[in-house]
Structures are given as structure tokens and as C-alpha cells.
Chain A
Amino acid sequence: MKHLSFRRLRALCWKETLQMFRDPSSNLIAFALPMLLMFVFGFGINLDTPTLKIGLYTEASGTEADGFAAALSGTPSLDIARYQSREAMARDMTDSKIRGFIVIPADFSRRMKAKADTAPIQVVADGSEPNTAQFVSSHVGGVWQVWMMQRAEDRGEEMDREIALEPRYWFNPSAKSRNFLIPGSITVIMTVIGALLTSLVVAREWERGTMEALLASPVTRAELLLSKILPYYALGMLSLLLCVASARWLLGVPFRGSVLALCVVGTFFLLSVLGIGLAISTATRNQFNAAQAALNAAFLPATMLSGFIYEISSMPSFLRGVTHIVPARYFVSAIQTLFQLPTDWKHLMPDILLLMASAAFFLGITAKLTKRRME
């Protein structure tokens, strides 16, 4: 590090910045893609089903059956279509036109009146979409409960419901999935900029032979590395702020944390992914291979193993072990907290320290791989 010349570093950084801005594809990745992805995650990825399409077939009418059918039709979260036969509903569910169907059997009203008998309502949900199927089951169950209570009240009877679970959401009172998916998606965007873009950079210099030219100059290893890190770090931070700002003001996701904490967390995460990207491109020296490797080593783990869509605690234990070496995991946890609650440094500290360690680790590998000589 003793030969760090500020003038040389500035010249190299300037060259890198020019190259970055003159290539339309890096502009695409740094500014167009983040906005596109924010938009995709803001509107396209929604785990809460707004209205469930459900078929209803009442085999015979009766006061009780009609009452329940009316309760179903009056529920805004259910889009109830009446059918004339069970087969038609089965066919439409196979063709994914409806996500479930309800059959009220012919003897429903009669069995409800009988004291010692339990009248069944049949609900069939499309298990090929497990998440939606869960919602079909719980929504219809909810309507049924309310209807039963209403019915008991109307008749002035004692309601048999004994225990009532009362849910309350902490941090995200309306339980909107976009409020945690959008902050999580920023992780993916940062990974793309940090690892994918930089992985191509060094590999390109090797492929085109300009790396030899650089090595023949008096540039030191530290200067070479810093000149690759600093411009992309600046680009990444710019993109992070852009994403957070558009999440806050365009998509209306509440941001309750501190901006300083955001910058600290963002810095260490960005340095980690930059480290991964540079290490890959230094090791492969070939753009095609570097791109493939970056996709598999940085991008896919950031989407699948970071816990931003898929809950880490639900994974089998060996995979939970693997997630500990994915830096995106700590960033997802930190940024979801930053968005949802006022910053408490005590809770953020573990994530920050682990991100720091991973940044040091990956940058260290890159430094080791970068040789100041030709082979």
C-alpha cells in the first residue's frame, strides 16, 4: 500500500467512470433495471390475493343454504361464480379459471336443524397453487365463522364459539406483502449492480488485452483494485438511494429507519458483492464464464437464499447453514427492519458486523487473486 499515488488513482477512476457511462448497457443496469424491478416488485409480486375466484354450487335451496350462499357473495375478497353442476366446477378448476369451489349438499338445511347432527360444507381448493389454496381455505372458513355467529345472534341463541384468536400485526399493521417484498427486492438490485456488472469489467480487460497494458504501467495493485471498486461503489450507492426514494415516494412503502444506518448497511453490503464480482472476474478472465459464475454465485443466492421471498427458518437445516455465507441474507434482514421500524442500533449491529466481515473476506480474496505480473 506504500505506493498509493492519488493522482494515478484519480486518473484510473476517471477512466473507469467514463467507460461506465459511455456504455449503454451499464446505464441500463444501474438506472433502468432498478426502476423496472421496483415496478415489478411493486405491482407484480403480490402474495396477498386481492379477490379469490371461487365456484359455488348449491344442490338444493333452503333457508340455511341460501343464507350461507348470500354471506359468501357478500364478501368482497371472494369472487363467487354460481354453477349448475359439480363437474363444470371441476373442469374450470383444472383449467385454472377458478381456484376453488364450494358445494352445499342437498340435505344441508335439514341436517343443520337436527340437533345431534353436523352438516358439512364441502370446500375443494386447487392444490397446484399451495399459497392461494391456503387462502381459499382460510377465507371460506372465516366467512363461515362470521355467518354462524350472525345466525346464532339472529336467533337469540348462545353461540358455541368459545375461544377467539385475535391477531395483531406488529410493524406492518395492514399485513401487506409488498411492504416487505419491495425492501427485499432492493437486495437483488444491489447484487446485480455489484456482482454482475463488475464481474464483466475485469474479465473484459483481460479478454481485450488492455489488462496487460495496465500491468505494464507503474500502477500498483492497490490502485488497480481501488479504481475498480470506487466508481462502482458510487454507482451502487446512488442506485440504492434511488431505490429507497422510489419505494418511499412512488410506491408508498413506509420508511421509518435512519438514513445514516441505511448508508452504513448499504456500504458494507455493496463492498461484499463488489468483492464477489471482482473475485469472479479475476479468477475466470473470460466474460461469458464470469457472467455465468456471477449469476450462479451471487444473483441466484440473493433471490433464493436471502429470505426475501422464502422464509429462511422454513428451510432444512443444511440449507439454513448455507444461507449464513450469503451476504444478501444479512442485508435483507437489516433493510426490512430499516423500512418497518425506527432504527435501534442494538438490533442492527449483528447484521452490520457480519456484513463487514464478509466485505473484508471477499475483498481479501480479490486482492490475493490480483497479481501484479503476467504469467
Chain B
Amino acid sequence: MRFLPRIHALVVKELQSVFGSPSSRTLLIMPVILQTLLFPFAATLEVKNASLGIYNRDTGAPAQELVQRFAQSAAFSEIIPFHGQDEMEEAIESRQAMLTVSIPEDFSRKLAAGETAPVQVLLDGRRSNGAQIAFGYLQGITEDYMKDRLAAAGRAMPSEVVTRFWFNPNLDYKNFILPNLVAIITTIGSLILTALSVSREREQGTFDQLLVSPLTPEMIMIGKAVPAMIVAFFQATLILCAAVFIYDVPFRGSLFFLYAGMFFYALSLVGVGLFISSLCNTQQQAFLGAFSFMMPAVMLSGFAAPVENMPRWLQIATWPNPVRHFVEIVKGVFLKDASFERVFSLIWPLVLIGAINLTAAALMFRRKTG
């Protein structure tokens, strides 16, 4: 009977405490804007502006041509000429060059004689992923050069591999990272907000006042959940707009699926946040607890490295991680126009995770009050 007016009053009070002061308003918006401006440029596994060292001991025309072609590639902004093996090793060790190419004296002679001419490439193993990708570029350039030589001689390769990339034809890393950021930045804001809101009331003693009021623990939980969900929706929408309008990431799927996923994701986050705060007595504990959950959850969500690269048992063990499912939803809806079945198969885990956490939190609050 009195349920709705009470909830209404409580939600108004919670909203005031979150959005009331200018400093907390700033802290909910500024970091999101800053992160949206910086991270898409920072988070890239592409290789650009790398420095390539070249030690060319051959004076023949083919060697010159190959060096020229390497130098013209957009991936390498700096070409460092070397005059000795030691210099090359030193350059890698001091991080002056990511990889170096060494062309032997007999390169042109071997090519002319129809033998296979080897070219040594030295890569910095401390940056093996970047070096591997850069090596792939070198390989592509060499491949093209050989094809051109064959064509000039009037012959053709018997077969060739034609590769195309769907959903993201130029493998633009921005198109991958921005959908991820929609999920991750939202997580930080709303999880910490929920985890801290209860413990702050505990520390200040106002939580006891709430408990002696006619409000039930469930109503208090709803009151805490609403502002967090508003914050989550607001921040996610902000990044979504930036992704589509500023960064030109193609949005191919259904906005409805995305927001449906977001609703259940926010609910599961609130569940986790409330569960953490039901275990904690101080803000410090709640913050560090939320952080200890968030850090591994974000890292294992498929944003830093694909989930399928993990060992099998860890793929199963990270199933209760809500971030992982939501990252998949956003990526799928954004780039691949994910079907209803696909989105549904990712939403029901979120519903389950949310339900379990909210129930656990409610039980903990009841036990503490009773």
C-alpha cells in the first residue's frame, strides 16, 4: 500500500546525495570524458611509428629496392641504417629499434642465380606481440615485391591467398576498443558508487536511522540501486555517442538489444556492489573490495586479451564474470549486428548473476539488521 510513496521518497533522497554536490557530480562526469578522449588513442595493439633498423651489406639493385619498399611502409616512421652486427644488437637492447633487418652480401647474387636468398630479421622479444605484427608487415611487403618480380619476368604464382576482414575491413583498432570502453568505463563508475553508498552511511551512522525507519531492507536496496543504474546508463550513453559521432565507429545492430543488455548488466553490477558493501563496515574496505573484484573482472573480460586464448578451465571459471558477457553484447551489437538468439544467450547469464547477488545481499542485510 505505502510501498510506492516510500520508495519514491527514498529514491529522491539517494539521488540528492549522489548528484547534490558539485564535486561528486564532477567526479562522475570528468573522468569519463577524459577516458573517452585519451584511451581510444592509447589502447592499440597496432604497430605504428615503429623504428626499423636496416643493415644492408649488399650493393645490388634488388637489395636497394627491398630497403626502399620497407622504408615506404606506413608502419615504420624511422629507418635507422646500421653498419655492423654489434650496432644492431645494441639498438634492440636499448629499445632504439623494435626490429632490425640484415641483408647479406650475396643477396643479389643468389636472387640472380635463382637460389633462395635469406634475410635475417632480429626482433625485440620484450615486445613480442608488436614485433610479431611488424614482422607480418615486412612479410607482406616482401611478398608483394616477389610477385612484382615474377610479373616482370612474365610468370604468375600458381595460387595466392586473398584475405579479407569482415566487420572491420581495415582492422582499425578503434572499432574494437570503443565498444569495449562502453562496458568498462560504465563498470568503474556504477560499481564503486553502489559499493560505497552503503558503507558511507554506515560510517556516518545514518544507516541505522534508515534501518529504524519503516523501510524494509529490500526497499533500501532499491533506493541504492536506482541512482547507480541512472549513472551507468548516463555514462554508457555518453561513450556510445562519442564512439558513433566522434570516432565514427559503425553502429550496425539494434539499439534496443544494446539497452536491454545494459539494463541487465547494470542490475548485475548493482547486485555485486551491494553484496560487497553488505560485507564491509568502512568505505576503505568497500572501495578496496570493489576494486579487487573489478580489476580481475575487467582484465578477464576479453578486453585486454581474447577470452578464447585462456586455458579451458579459466574460460569456465570466468563464466560468472558479468563484464565478460556485456563486453560480448556491446561488441556483437556494434560491429556484427548480433541476432536476437545471440544477444539472448548473453543476457540470461547476466540475469542469473544479478539475481544471485541481489538475493545474497538482501540476506546479508536482513541478517545484520535482525
Contact = CB atoms under 8 A, between A and B. Distances in A.
Interface of A: 23-26, 28-29, 32-33, 36-37, 40-41, 43-50, 53, 64, 93-96, 99, 108, 111-112, 115-134, 137-138, 140-141, 144, 148, 158-173, 175-177, 179-180, 188, 192, 196-197, 200, 204, 207, 287-289, 291-293, 295-296, 300, 304-305, 309-311, 313-316, 319, 322, 333, 336-337, 340-341, 344, 347
Nearest to B300: A44
Interface of B: 23-24, 27, 31, 34-35, 38-39, 41-51, 66, 89, 92-95, 98, 111, 114, 116-133, 135-136, 138-139, 142, 145-146, 149-150, 155-169, 171-173, 175-176, 188, 192, 196, 200, 203, 280, 282-285, 287-289, 291-292, 295-296, 299-300, 304-306, 308-311, 314, 318, 328, 331-332, 335-339, 342
Contacts of B126: 171-172, 180, 336-337, 340
Find the residue from A132, A134, A161, A314 having the highest chain B CB count within 10 A.
Answer: A314
A162 B318 CA distance: 47
A130 B171 contact: yes
A125 B146 contact: no
Given A25-B289, A148-B158, A288 B116 contact: no
B289 A125 contact: no
Contact of B121 (A46, A166, A336): A166
B42 A319 contact: yes
Nearest to B170: A127
B49 A169 contact: no
A292 B117 contact: no
Nearest to B44: A314
B92 A170 contact: yes
Contacts of B332: 96
Contact of A163 (B145, B167, B168, B173): B145
Given A28-B292, A288-B283, A296 B125 contact: no
10 contacts: A24-B285, A43-B310, A133-B165, A134-B171, A162-B111, A165-B142, A168-B120, A175-B132, A289-B23, A304-B43
Contacts of B89: 170
B95 A128 contact: no
A93 B335 CA distance: 12
Contacts of A347: 93-94
Nearest to B146: A162
Contacts of A180: 125-128
B55 to A, nearest CB: 14
A36 B296 contact: yes
Nearest to A293: B27
Given A159-B116, A161-B146, A288-B24, A130 B300 contact: no
A328 to B, nearest CB: 13
Contact of B166 (A47, A126, A289): A126
Contacts of B161: 120-121, 123, 140-141, 144
A319 to B, nearest CB: 5
Contact of A36 (B42, B156, B292, B318): B292
Contact of B309 (A46, A117, A138): A46
